Chains A and B, each alone.
Chain A
Amino acid sequence: MSMLTPRTAAVIGVKKETNDVSTYVFRLNGDTPFDFKAGQFNMLGFHGIGEAPISFSSNLLDDNGFAHTIRFVGNVTEIIRSLKSGDNIQVRGPYGTGWPIELLSRRDVVIVAGGIGMAPLRPVVLKLFDGKTDDRFHILYGSRTPGDILYKDEIKEWKSKMGSRVLVAVDEESDDMGLVDVVGVVTTLIKKVDVDFKESICLLCGPEIMMRFVARELIIKGAAQSNIYVSLERRMYCGVGQCGHCQIGAKFVCKDGPVFRYSDIKRFSDTML
């Protein structure tokens, strides 16, 4: 079978996150073993519709399950919106590189997420809570409105464990400001972080324009360009470096990324970085 031929997976759980975002737990049919790294993605799709690249939003779950947090904005994701437990979906993957997990121990880690960009970073956060005992990490999360914040229960839990090391900013105020620390863009949170940025590893995911300003702020604070990692999104048909759509300069986002060192990808045109 060609690598362009998908496998079938079933939905084993759905959790509504916001009005247009839900988290789905899938498992490949037929007890197929599955493994992946935080930061990688799957091509999810349906016959007759097409495929879309979606990052994992969990680490490997019990019984080879895996989660994707999906915003309903396109042909494929609108079909996913209608899925219930037991429904099937086509899956190809895992594809791409992952976050540099091996670099995170004994270093300060600054995680900056914007909007749905929290989803690819969630597996990293879970790994850090799981394995890192020195609590040397910070989570900065920007969201349009309080209603758009993903993983609200978990963020509440993270805040209770980590205090001011987990900070949330929103662009617009609303009635439910329980999780919110600041009204403003996510870059304003960087000022509130007390770490030596020169030695820190920074992991960014969100709209490219947001990552541009976050990266600049981090560099001004002393972070090295090569210690800033960004996860990018591009149009993709294959996931394996052949359909050509995701290219940024010499990089294929699908197989060289989607996680890049900022210094490796910034040198090319056609990004907002």
Chain B
Amino acid sequence: MIVIKTEEFIEYLVSLSANMTVYAPLKQRDQTVFDILKNGDVIQLDYGMTMLSPTRFLFPPRETIFNAENMVKESSNSYIITAKEISPGLLPNKQVIAGIHPHDMHAVLVLDKVFLSGGFVDEAYRCRRENTVIVVMNQTQVWDTCFSRSMGTGPFFNLTEGCDLILTWLGRELLAEPVSESGEDMIKSIKSRKANSMDMAAKDEAESRTASLFKKEFNTNELPELLMRNQDHVIWRMIAEDRCLGCTNCTMVCPTCFCYNTEDENSINLSSTRRARYWASCQELNFAKVHGGNFRASRAARLRQFVTHKLSTWVEQFGCFGCVGCGRCMYWCPTNIDLVDIAKTIAGDVGI
């Protein structure tokens, strides 16, 4: 465990960005945004909430599944297109995500379960994940909607797997704990000193100070069962019909949402096709539509799907909550629909 000067680490990231893509929290106007680090950018490691999570550099909003060169055959009443040759979409070389918060790192671990260990391996995700070095930045700021402490995903990252390096902000210095070979390699090339007991004490102090800043608390004990018993609770209809605009913001900013649609793009003479996938939202009207009907035609059903999936059925599917407590969904909801409030209301109503 070592200590490095904050500006030395930032200089190191800048030097890395000459040879590979480095994603970092950058100051853009009055926000912090995870983006590609370029010359002249201001890196802000002690940041609060970012609107979009850096998980999108592992599961991008839109990507090519394959490109196909086509043979086109005119049939009786249509054109039948079949592939002459298929080539996969482009995948990245080595990339770095620097400064990811612990709850977003937990979101990466959730996506790992969906795309790598759910029975089928998604090649694009696997390739990105294996080629990405991840530096976790322990959280020292807390915003009103954040409840990662209650979800067990923050404010500090206390696992020693999944990422490569864990940083703790000690003001002008950073405590750096490598947890993988890539992490070890990283700190070798930065000027550093050995961490002493004062540094460790400063980290513990920072953790308990940050933990004391949380305003949003949430008891997740028996939460999955509670929501399953209350699938017909009146609150779904009340909140959905009064306040849900169906805008899909909640699912677009959620770091664990994994749903996607596919879409084919054809060249004008049909000689080539690009099949792409792009983020989908369970809040879209047609998300569960089939021929002859829509299994979630009401906004109430769609709101219930979002909330019960994150806080209940996800546990049965993947052994963890689908919510990491970042608070983005309720922050970016135009009418402040709050899944914690919904769960608390249900718990209060049935007397838990």
Contact = CB atoms under 8 A, between A and B. Distances in A.
Given A47-B275, A48-B266, A270-B288, A5 B65 contact: yes
B80 A88 contact: yes
A244 B120 contact: no
B70 A47 contact: yes
A91 to B, nearest CB: 11
A237 interface: yes
A195 interface: no
B80 A243 contact: no
A241 B120 contact: yes
B296 interface: yes
Contacts of A158: none
A207 B289 CA distance: 14
Contact of B313 (A74, A88, A250, A255): A250
A119 B6 CA distance: 65
Contacts of A234: 288, 290, 295
Contacts of A79: 78, 80
Contacts of A103: none
A255 B119 contact: yes
Interface string A80-123: 00111001111000000000000000000000000000000000
Contact of A1 (B77, B86, B270): B86
A48 B70 contact: yes
B289 A244 contact: no
Interface residues of B, number: 59
Contacts of B186: none
Interface stretch (B43-51, B300-308, B337-345): B300-308
B277 interface: yes
B65 to A, nearest CB: 5
B81 A243 contact: no
A243 B275 CA distance: 14
A242 interface: yes
A3 B317 CA distance: 21
Given A47-B264, A50-B264, A235 B290 contact: yes
A244 B260 contact: yes
Contact of A242 (B114, B275, B287, B288): B114
B270 A87 contact: no
Contacts of A255: 118-120
A270 B295 contact: yes
B68 interface: yes
Contacts of A90: 82-83
Interface string B124-139: 1000000000000000
Contacts of A6: 83
A98 to B, nearest CB: 15
Contacts of B228: 249, 267
A267 B312 CA distance: 13
Nearest to B122: A242
A5 B80 CA distance: 18
A267 B305 CA distance: 14
Interface in A238-259: 238, 240-245, 247-250, 252, 255
Nearest to B261: A237
Interface string B255-272: 000111111101000100
Contacts of B185: none
Contact of B119 (A88, A235, A241, A248): A241
B73 interface: yes
A244 B259 contact: yes
Contacts of B188: none
Interface in A4-53: 4-6, 8, 46-51
B66 A4 contact: yes
Given A6-B83, A48-B273, A243-B260, 18 more contacts: A1-B123, A2-B65, A4-B262, A47-B81, A48-B81, A73-B291, A79-B80, A82-B76, A207-B292, A233-B290, A237-B280, A242-B122, A243-B280, A244-B259, A249-B308, A250-B313, A255-B120, A269-B231
Interface of A: 1-6, 8, 46-51, 73-74, 78-79, 82-84, 87-90, 207, 233-235, 237-238, 240-245, 247-250, 252, 255, 267-271
30 contacts: A1-B88, A4-B66, A5-B66, A8-B82, A46-B82, A47-B273, A47-B275, A48-B70, A48-B81, A48-B266, A73-B291, A78-B78, A79-B80, A90-B83, A234-B290, A237-B260, A237-B262, A238-B260, A242-B260, A243-B260, A243-B261, A244-B259, A245-B261, A245-B280, A245-B288, A247-B313, A249-B228, A249-B313, A267-B228, A269-B304
